[in-house]
Amino acid sequence: MDTHQYFTRNARWIAILLLLGWYGFFLVQKVDLTTSDLGRHITNGSVEYSALTTGDMTLFHDVLGTNFYSYTDPGFTTVNHHWGTGLIFYAVHQLGGFGALSILFILISLATFLIFFLIAAREGGYGIAVPVAALVIPLIAERVEVRPEGFSYLFAAIFLWVLWNYHRHRIRARWLFALPLLQVLWVNMHIYFFLGPMLAGIVAVGALFFCRQERVKIRNLMFVFVGTSLATLINPFGYRAITYAFTIFNNYGYRLVENQTLWFLWNYGFGDPNIVLYAGVALLMLLAISGAWYRRRAWDFDSSAELAFFAFLGIGFGVAGFLALRNITLFGLFALPVLSFALHRALPEKYLHDPELVFLIGTTAAACGLFFLYHAYPVKLQAVRQNFGIGLQPNVEYSMDFLKAHHIAGPIFNNYDIGGFLIYENAPEKVFVDNRPEAYPASFFADTYIPMQENDALWQKELAAHDFNAIVFGYHDLTPWSQQFLSARLHDADWAPVYIDGYIIIFVRRTPQNADLIRQYEIPRSFFGITQ
């Protein structure tokens, strides 16, 4: 009896349900709309739908290809690489609000995990795949905000399932021909679309080297590679969408945590337990791959070729995860089948005939590792428990209700974090900045946005240029310049704070038009600990 036979049908279902519950614990999170991109995606979909139904192609082009929502540099060209997801998010939001969007994302994420897990269980056995899945789920759950990239994870899972099962002669060739069609959706929904042709190309090249006698297989896989590559051109931007995916960071003037390397974040003191977990899983994966390669003579030639394929995926996505925090989810997903496959071939044969021991050791090790990890970094689990639920976080829209009820007009100065929130809540009022660095010249952040918050003379210059009437600021922005700016405005007699909640503070300029509002709602400076 091996690890494939150990689990009965009922035991397999129980294991799957427990794993889905463990992953679901991280997924069921309320949305903080003040810092999320979700509001902007919904507004994108609304504008796109309006443009398409009215035939206004100028509007459609503007929302897809320009800095459409900002008054600071509205003509700056960009590529809205997730415009298709905006349509889906808008439609779902129209049907069921933010709760429906949460449920959609949860279902997509669980389906993605299930596909990767089934591949892992098929290649490594349930006795290995179950503890490995339990271990990597926190990595997979690094990104649980409702985002377009959820579709990329799902498409990557489908591509891997189809390509791998065709390679293993488990499905017919007709499944392959759905992949170019899926690629058309992918290229219009998220910038990770290049993973489709990449996966198809890796399998095709592997077949060319290791399966030379199977000419039909090679021909079909090469067709899929060429077909998915050509399908990436079917988008409103043509070849620009492809080049943009690899040049987007050439114009990225604002440093985001999610784009930093794990080494940088670790040295910076970023307290995410997934950095430690990543290191442990990556090390275990390298040891398993090395052990499997050492024992390759115990397996047939095809298994050696398959190990090379999985090793390439594991190391490739491992490097991607190290280079940017945002890629940890991808690493966790691909580490699941890679590690399961490699462990099954690295373990001595005597252990494979004792699957109860393999499962017990693996589950105990995973549980102990996660317990000590989250005991050392309790903030992660505490945040998950506090935000548990679907839909929006409580009272998150109150600030915008205040803004609208009192007809506070622009121009509004806002900080980076809440740009998407204002785009959703306060349209058609334009924003100063939003959380799309690629939609603004890099010089805008380096020469204007950051310096004007640090230097009062530059602030006065921008105030004269734009004639700001209000400041709407997410005060949880902990960047040095934002904290310095807030302190300066609280001491600035020209501005009156009139609203604050758990997310947002609103100032209005002391003008005759705002006199009644200030008289009724001004918050005394003593509230903020200011005595002079």
Task: Encode pLDDT of 420-437 as tens digits.
Answer: 999 998 878 899 999 899
- CA gap 224, 80 in Å, rounded: 26
- For residue 364, the number of C-alpha atoms closer than 13 Å in the C-beta half-sphere is 6
Helix (H, G, I), strand (E, B) or coil at 77: strand
* pLDDT for residue 351: 57
Percentage of the chain lying above the pLDDT 70 cut: 92
pTM of structure? 0.91
* 103-117, 129-143, 332-346, 347-361 — most confident range: 103-117
Q: How many CB atoms lie within 10 A of CB 376?
A: 11
* pLDDT for residue 168: 84
What average pLDDT score do residues 113-142 get? Answer: 92
- 258 secondary structure, DSSP code: G
398-528 in CATH: which number? 3.40.50
The residue count of the chain comes to 532
Q: Are 325 and 294 in contact (CB under 8 A)?
A: no
* pLDDT for residue 370: 75
Question: Would you call 245 exposed, middle or buried from its count of C-beta atoms within 10 A (0-12, 13-18, 19+)?
Answer: middle
Predicted confidence (pLDDT) per residue in 304-352, tens digit:
678 888 889 999 999 999 999 999 999 999 999 999 999 988 876 655 5
Helix (H, G, I), strand (E, B) or coil at 474: strand
What average pLDDT score do residues 377-383 get? Answer: 73
Q: Which residue would you say has higher pLDDT here, 458 or 210?
A: 458
- CA gap 91, 105 in Å, rounded: 14
Look at 236-240, 351-355, 475-479, 496-500 and tell me which has the smallest mean pLDDT.
351-355
Q: Where are the domains of the chain?
A: 29-386, 398-528
**Closest to 418 (Cα-Cα) out of 401, 399, 439, 441:** 399
Which CA distances in Å does 206 have to 8, 219, 222, 302, 318? 34, 12, 11, 11, 20
Which CA distances in Å does 475 have to 122, 272, 425, 516? 49, 22, 18, 25
* pLDDT for residue 381: 75
* pLDDT for residue 69: 93
* 65-69, 111-115, 169-173, 359-363 — most confident range: 111-115
Predicted confidence (pLDDT) per residue in 351-363, tens digit:
555 566 667 767 7
Q: What Rg value do the Cα atoms of the chain yield, rounded? A: 26
Predicted confidence (pLDDT) per residue in 55-76, tens digit:
999 999 999 999 999 999 888 9
